[in-house]
Structure 1
């Protein structure tokens, strides 16, 4: 394997009655001569993201490239941290974000990216770096992209919100998509290619013998202010069962 992937900020596959959680994966791909960040997460995770980089003895200025799967707030909200990076965005996504209204796209991020150095991807399957390809996986947004890496005779795909969670990966039925049919086709494509998939809002999944096998436990702890009763000693543990799906 000529790269190492660390999920710096881990996602959770859930929705809230009071608004979008925005807890998505942020992944760091470290290669011999470059550091690539996949998405930047929402602004709410900024302290966690900086701490995760620090634990790897890295600073934001050491990120060479930021691959943005799409331009929703929970995937590009921390773009301004990475001042030395080139931002990799699909042509269709950039056009959509700069010409159409989307409640999940933030003007602040688009304005910042307008002035930054960008690699605009216009061809499906373009090799960004040796062994690293961008594929178009539209549906959730018109210009969604996923990242494909080859490792130890396996194909790994970091999917962004082309596949948000394990159920979408299993069934091909999506929630919150601008084009459900495009989303189904994108998920089918990913399943036909990948041995391992990192959804936008779930843990790594291994695909084997038509099974979707979660590779780790997914849990979020919600801590209440001291003195408020609820959960276990003021902590609610939200956990997802770690079992194969088929």
Structure 2
């Protein structure tokens, strides 16, 4: 399995007017499969299109899309990958997306209904010939998943999702300021070569736990 970060997540913030988040987009190739983790949100669409052109891949070629969780800043751009199979924690099916509001609820329903093939996950799977381990990490959202990847070019990579959204959250954990679920999860996973955060640049950990 080979990995590339197509774009780093972040947010666009205008006080009292706009708070638009978008997630890091991870691209994987495994044998004939072309895989995305968290395709992101509308603010990143221009950069995502540019990056697809740079790597020579079209949206129609994406075979698999994995979600850390179903918030729009992580899932909206999934509407562009109509040939893909979508992987999401099984609890997604029990959420009342219409309760999010008359506009947001409708948008969530439209995005999810665009997925033609859905594979529900429990969060304990080993996929892609052992190159991907799935963890159920439900502290940010009940359907939240994190992924441990074994890659040829970047080593052992942990895609944290929003349970560790950025470097500051990670530093709080390793300095002992945060003692909750995320810290125990990092300890269980063990040493990795790269941490991929959804709303910050990736990090090569310097402190071995």
Q: Same fold (TM over 0.5)?
A: yes
2:77 counterpart residue number: 78
Query: Which secondary structure does the structure 2 equivalent of 1:70 belong to?
Result: coil
1:202 alignment partner in structure 2 = 200
The structural deviation recorded for 1:93 is: 3.3
What are the residue-to-residue correspondences of 1:1-12 with 2, within 5 Å?
3-12=1-10
Secondary structure of 1:207's counterpart equals coil
Q: Deviation per CA, 1:70-104, whole angstroms, max 9, x where unpaired? A: 11111011111001001100012342354763899
Instruction: Tell me if structure 1 keeps the 8 A contact 2:98–2:109.
Output: no
Mark the structure with the bigger radius of gyration: 1
Give the equivalent residue in structure 1 for 2:181: 185
Which stretch of the first structure deviates more once superposed, 12-21 or 152-161?
A: 12-21
Task: Name the TM-score, length of structure 2 as normaliser.
Answer: 0.82
Instruction: Indicate whether 1:41 and 2:37 are aligned.
Output: no
- Asked if residue 159 in structure 1 is aligned to residue 160 in structure 2, the reply is yes
Q: Which residue of 2 aligns with 1:142?
A: 142
Q: Report 1 or 2 for greater relative contact order, CA contacts < 8 Å, sequence distance ≥ 6.
A: 2
User: How many Å apart are 1:42 and its aligned residue?
Assistant: 0.8
The unaligned stretches of length 5 or more in structure 1 are 174-180, 212-246
2:30–2:128 contact (8 Å) kept in structure 1: no
TM-score, scaled to structure 1? 0.71
Does the 8 Å CA contact 2:63/2:83 hold for their aligned counterparts? yes
- CA RMSD, aligned part only? 3.0
Which residue number in structure 1 is paired with residue 128 of structure 2?
129
Number of residues of Structure 1 aligned to a counterpart in Structure 2: 200
CA deviation after TM superposition for structure 1 residue 129, in Å: 1.6
In structure 1, the partner of 2:31 is: 32
With 42-51 and 66-75 compared, the bigger mean Cα shift is at 42-51
C-alpha separation in 2, matches of 1:112 and 1:165: 26
- The CA distance in 2 between the partners of 1:79 and 1:105, in whole Å, is 16
Q: Secondary structure at the match of 1:45?
A: helix
Give the Å deviation of 1:31.
1.6
**Hey, what does 1:227 align to over in structure 2?**
none
